[in-house]
Amino acid sequence: MREIKMEAGTLKKARGSAMVEWGRNKVVAGVYGPREVFPKFLSNPYRAIINAKYAMAPFCSLEEHGRAGPNRRSIEISKVIKHVFENNVVVEEFPKTKIDITMEIIQSDGGTRVSAIAAASLALIDAGIPVRDIVTPISVGKIAGQLVVDLDKDEDNYGESDMPMAFSHRTGELLLWQMDGMLTHAELKQALSMGLEATRKVRAIQEAALKTAFENAAEACEEEGDSQ
Ligand code: CDP
């Protein structure tokens, strides 16, 4: 596993936010909502709509990306992340509204969707939006015939397979499961259990980041109360 640092409540203006440094990946996530949907006919009378936007900054990798705005890859990643959080946020509590999750990749080195999901989950909880659990992602892949946890860019590019996944430990759900390359059925099963095991450590880092954010928020409230 690469070194992971997480912080919730990073941005002071967003309703909820988080920053994740996962190896050389750096991601900032911001959350707005639940808020009204315009035009209204796009709203769902039974639940909140989740909008997810994953974007890479033009300066996030060695070769400059040049083109700003969405592309095929970022649209696909945004779509799968939307589905992760549709099954995690308690959407039925907020009919006719939308919740916007934005994830900006500032620096990338393989596994950015995993880092983005970890950040988005913290940002949602920082925003006080009811969720069923923390979402804890990881990637497991195969390099030179060997299954390995948490691939960086070179391992991903030269490896035989890459399988990003995201778990909810409390509900026991697998919320994301994608695969690039080939694995045998036995390897798939082993990779899933390696991912589940590795995410225990990731989840502990997420919990610690949330605890710090809520302690800081409580202290700030107390100070405000004292000064009034
Ligand atoms: O980042 P993730 O592993 O979720 O997605 P990927 O499509 O497997 O990309 C692997 C890595 O390739 C990214 O993390 C980036 O470091 C790099 N990449 C890039 O620099 N520019 C792109 N347009 C796509 C990927």
Query: Of 27, 61, 71, which is best to mutate to test ligand 1, by the most ligand atoms within 8 angstroms of its C-beta?
Result: 61
108 CB under 6 A from ligand 1? yes
Query: Of 72, 143, 153, which is best to mutate to test ligand 1, by the most ligand atoms within 8 angstroms of its C-beta?
Result: 153
Query: Of 24, 76, 108, 139, which is best to mutate to test ligand 1, by the most ligand atoms within 8 angstroms of its C-beta?
Result: 108
Residue 132 corresponds to which tokens in the numbers above? 């069923």
Give the confidence band of 181 by pLDDT, cuts at 50, 70, 90.
Answer: very high
What is the model's pLDDT at position 83? 98
The pTM of this model reads: 0.96
110 CB under 6 A from ligand 1? yes
What is the model's pLDDT at position 63? 73
115 CB under 6 A from ligand 1? no
Burial call 96-134: b when 16+ CB within 10 Å, e when fewer: ebbbbbbbbbebbbbbbbbbbbbbbbbbbbbbebebebb
- Work out the angle at residue 100's Cα, subtended by the Cα atoms of residues 98 and 105, and round it to the nearest 5 degrees: 165
Computed over every residue of the chain, the mean pLDDT equals 95
Q: Convert the pLDDT of each residue in 22-58 to its tens digit.
A: 999 999 999 999 999 999 999 999 999 999 999 999 8
Helix/strand/coil (H/E/C) assignment for every residue in 34-97: EEECCCHHHCCCCCCEEEEEEEECCCCCCCCCCCCCCCHHHHHHHHHHHHHHHCCECHHHCCCE
The residue whose CA is least distant from atom 23 of ligand 1 is: 65
Q: Convert the pLDDT of each residue in 109-152 to its tens digit.
A: 999 999 999 999 999 999 999 999 999 999 999 999 999 999 99
CA–CA gap between residue 40 and residue 109 (Å, rounded): 40
113 CB under 6 A from ligand 1? yes
Q: Convert the pLDDT of each residue in 60-89 to its tens digit.
A: 987 766 566 789 999 999 999 999 999 999
Residue 163 phi, psi (nearest 5): -130, 95
Closest among 61, 39, 59 to 49, alpha carbons compared: 39
